[in-house]
Amino acid sequence: MTLHTLAVVGTGLIGTSVALAASRHRVTVYLSDRDESALHTAAARGAGRPEPPPHPVDLAVLAVPPSQIAPVLAREQARGLARSYTDVASVKARPEREILATAPDPSSYVGGHPMAGRERSGPLAARAELFRDRPWVLTPTRFTTKPAFERAVGLIALCGGIPRVMRARAHDDAVALTSHAPHLLASLMAARLRDGPVPASRLAGQGLRDVTRIARGDSRLWGDIVESNAGAVADVLTRLQEELAGVVAALYDLAEPDGCGGPGPETRGKSRHTLVDLLERGIAGVGELSEDRAEGHDR
């Protein structure tokens, strides 16, 4: 479905990137944000007009944290902002439950999540090509109308993304593993640098920088994201914790000197196997990733 007008509520990295992509296709875009500085920065970059639309737009994109999707949708539907609505939050099940319970018109809404981002945030980091060839998940409910779904698909086409349809819960379980838990692990590793030996940061190479890069993400936004998907993230971390405990035990075995009451050859052999097995499974897991990954994933 062709889009002629668009409203973007929230002018951070993702919202501004959506607006820039749509504006390139001559879609008239209206911007709003409680942060006047972010709003006018996005407008100055050519993302759209920093004003309310005179008439309902074809589609409104809610680029706000997961906890704000339902209340913002209810507010904008009450105002008559758009004919249809979608969002770009990286958690879908909790907002969906809240929307079905509180939205004036759940049928005009379809959940969305573009699987792209950067470790930088804000409108200055936005790029029109951010979503090109990236998966963009849609999570329609049983109430979502065909026009609402088709307008969301039209937006994905404008942005150069690849539409994928999923159930909200399946989406959240997947991103807990591929995005949310990794962000917390990156933060844990980066936080250790504050408590490590003084020279440690001076010796850091590209490996550490790769592991910790995404820890730069906005802490308030990421706190909202992880809280909104807390159960699924906790499940992933619990499995990692169990496996990490085995690796730690193996390392302590290998750290003990030979003889003098240390572990025997059989125990050392098992510990070496535990360590090498993890490394090999890690290599295999990396092989499952596509080579054309996004620069980062901030939501």
d(CA 197, CA 250): 24
Check residue 206 and give its pLDDT.
86
d(CA 34, CA 185): 31
Check residue 18 and give its pLDDT.
98
Pairing of strands 109-114, 135-139: antiparallel
Check if the beta carbon of residue 81 is closer than 8 Å to that of residue 57: yes
Check residue 9 and give its pLDDT.
98
Check if the beta carbon of residue 92 is closer than 8 Å to that of residue 176: no
Residue 8 pairs with which residues in a beta bridge?
31, 61
Check if the beta carbon of residue 113 is closer than 8 Å to that of residue 171: yes
> Tens digits of per-residue pLDDT, 198-211?
667 677 788 888 89
Check if the beta carbon of residue 90 is closer than 8 Å to that of residue 13: no
Check residue 294 and give its pLDDT.
42
Mutual orientation of helices 13-24 and 146-159 as an angle, nearest 10°? Answer: 90
Check residue 288 and give its pLDDT.
82
d(CA 14, CA 127): 9
**Longest alpha-carbon distance in the chain:** 83
| CA 236-240-246 angle, 5° bins | 155
| CA 36-111-298 angle, 5° bins | 55
Check if the beta carbon of residue 19 is closer than 8 Å to that of residue 43: no
pLDDT along the chain (299 residues), means of 10: 95 97 97 97 97 98 96 97 97 97 97 89 94 97 97 97 97 96 94 77 81 90 95 97 96 83 83 94 85 47
CB atoms inside a 10 Å sphere around CB 56:
14
Q: Which long-range contacts (CB under 8 A, 24 or more apart) does 241-248 make?
A: 243/278, 246/274, 247/274, 247/275, 247/278
User: Which residues contact residue 221 at a Cβ distance below 8 angstroms, ignoring those fewer than 6 apart?
Assistant: 12, 65, 121, 298, 299
